[in-house]
Amino acid sequence: MQYLNLILAGLFQAAVLFLVACGLQLIFGVQKIVNLACGSFYALGAFFAITVVSIVQQWQLPALLLIPVLVLAGLAIGLVGAPLELMLRPVYRRDPSYQLLLTFGLVLMFQDVFRFFWGAAPRSMDTALYGAYGTLEAQAVSIPIYNLLVILASIAIALILGLTLKRSRVGRIVRATAENRDMTEALGVNASRVFTLVFTVGCILGTVGGALIVPTSAASLTMAAELVVDAFAVVVIGGLGSMAGAVAGAVIVGLMRTVAVTFASEVEILSIYLVVVAVLLFRPKGLFGKEAV
Amino acid sequence: MSALPETLPASTPAARPLLLGGVGPLVILLVGLAVSPVLLSAYATVTLMPVIAYGIAVLGMNILFGYTGMLSFGHAMFLAIGAYCAAVATQHGILSFEWILLVASGVGASIALIVGALCVRFTHIFFGVLTLAIGMLLHSFLFKFYDLTGGDQGMRVLRPTLLGQTWDMSATQFLSGPFYYYCLVVYVVFVLVTYRMIKSPVGLHLQAIRDNENKARYLGVHVYRLRLGAFVLSGMLGSIGGAMLGVSTGLADPELAYWTQSGNLIFMLVLGGAGTFSGPGVGALIFVLLQDIAASETQYWRFLLGATLTVLVLALPDGLLGTLSKYRGPGKNPGAQP
**pLDDT of B308:** 86
Residues of chain B with C-beta less than 8 angstroms from the C-beta of A183: none
Q: How many other C-beta atoms can be found within 10 angstroms of the C-beta atom of residue B121?
A: 16
Contact status, residue A33 vs residue A103, Cβ threshold 8 Å: yes
DSSP 8-state symbol, A219: B
**pLDDT of B20:** 57
Low-confidence ranges of chain A (pLDDT < 50): 292-293
Query: Residue B133 is nearest to which of A92, A94, A232, comparing CB atoms?
Result: A232
CB–CB contact B310 A115 (8 Å): no
CB–CB contact B307 A232 (8 Å): no
Give the residue from A59, A66, A218, A58 showing the smallest Cα distance to A129.
A66
Choose the mutation target among B127, B137, B147, B261 for the interface with A, i.e. most A CBs under 10 Å. B137
Contact B127/A at CB under 8 A: no
Contact B114/A at CB under 8 A: no
**Amino acid of residue B238:** G
**Sequence-ordered list of residues with C-beta below 8 angstroms from that of B85, at least 6 positions apart, any chain:** B100, B103, B104, B107, B108, B239, B242, B243, B246
pLDDT band with cut points at 50, 70 and 90 for residue B4? very low
Query: Residue A266 is nearest to which of B4, B145, B303, comparing CB atoms?
Result: B145
Taking CA A99 as the corner, what is the angle to CA A208 and CA A238, rounded to the nearest 5 degrees?
A: 55
Query: Residue B81 pLDDT more than 90?
Result: yes
Closest chain A residue to the Cα of B122, Cα to Cα: A293
The 10s digit of each residue's pLDDT in B35-65 is 888 788 878 888 888 899 999 999 999 999 8
Contact status, residue B271 vs residue B312, Cβ threshold 8 Å: yes
Sign of torsion, CA B255 B256 B257 B261?
A: positive
CB–CB contact B125 A34 (8 Å): yes
Give the residue from B260, B295, B236 showing the smallest Cα distance to B47.
B295
Minimal C-alpha gap between B35 and chain A (Å)? 34
Measured between alpha carbons, how far is B266 from B131 in angstroms, rounded to an integer? 13
Closest chain B residue to the Cα of A98, Cα to Cα: B313
Contact B224/A at CB under 8 A: no
**pLDDT of A131:** 73
Residues of chain B with C-beta less than 8 angstroms from the C-beta of A270: 137, 140-141, 144
**Amino acid of residue A190:** N
**pLDDT of A67:** 85
Report residue B126 CA to chain centroid gap.
21
**Sequence-ordered list of residues with C-beta below 8 angstroms from that of A149, at least 6 positions apart, any chain:** A67, A133
- Residue of B217 and A129 predicted with greater confidence: B217
Measured between alpha carbons, how far is B5 from A219 in angstroms, rounded to an integer? 38
pLDDT band with cut points at 50, 70 and 90 for residue B335? very low
Query: Residue B307 is nearest to which of A93, A109, A115, comparing CB atoms?
Result: A109
Measured between alpha carbons, how far is A86 from B52 in angstroms, rounded to an integer? 38
Give the residue from B311, B206, B1, B3 showing the smallest Cα distance to A101.
B311
CB–CB contact B270 A267 (8 Å): no
**pLDDT of B2:** 38
CA dihedral B169, B174, B177, B182 (to 10 degrees): 130
**pLDDT of B304:** 87
Query: Residue B313 is nearest to which of A98, A233, A268, comparing CB atoms?
Result: A98
Minimal C-alpha gap between B224 and chain A (Å)? 15
Residues of chain A with C-beta less than 8 angstroms from the C-beta of B302: 108-109, 111-112
**pLDDT of B328:** 65
H or E element, residue A137? strand A135-138
**pLDDT of A292:** 45
Residues of chain A with C-beta less than 8 angstroms from the C-beta of B258: 225
Contact status, residue A103 vs residue A40, Cβ threshold 8 Å: no
Measured between alpha carbons, how far is A123 from A108 in angstroms, rounded to an integer? 20
3-state SS class at A144: strand
**pLDDT of B102:** 93
Report residue A157 CA to chain centroid gap.
12
Which residues pair with residue B251 across a beta bridge?
B156
**pLDDT of B338:** 38
CB–CB contact A97 B310 (8 Å): no
Give the residue from B171, B153, B144, B183 showing the smallest Cα distance to B87.
B153
**pTM of the shown model:** 0.84
**pLDDT of A160:** 92
**pLDDT of B6:** 44
CA distances from A52 to A153, A200, B66 (A): 20, 20, 45
Q: β-strand A135-138 against B155-156: which pairing, if any?
A: unpaired
ipTM, interface predicted TM-score of the complex: 0.82
Give the residue from A259, A144, A250 showing the smallest Cα distance to A205.
A250
The 10s digit of each residue's pLDDT in B123-182 is 777 788 888 888 888 888 888 777 777 777 878 888 888 887 777 778 778 788 888 888
**pLDDT of A293:** 42
CB–CB contact B310 A229 (8 Å): no
Q: Give the B window 15-74 contacts with A, CB below 8 Å.
A: 65, 69, 71, 73
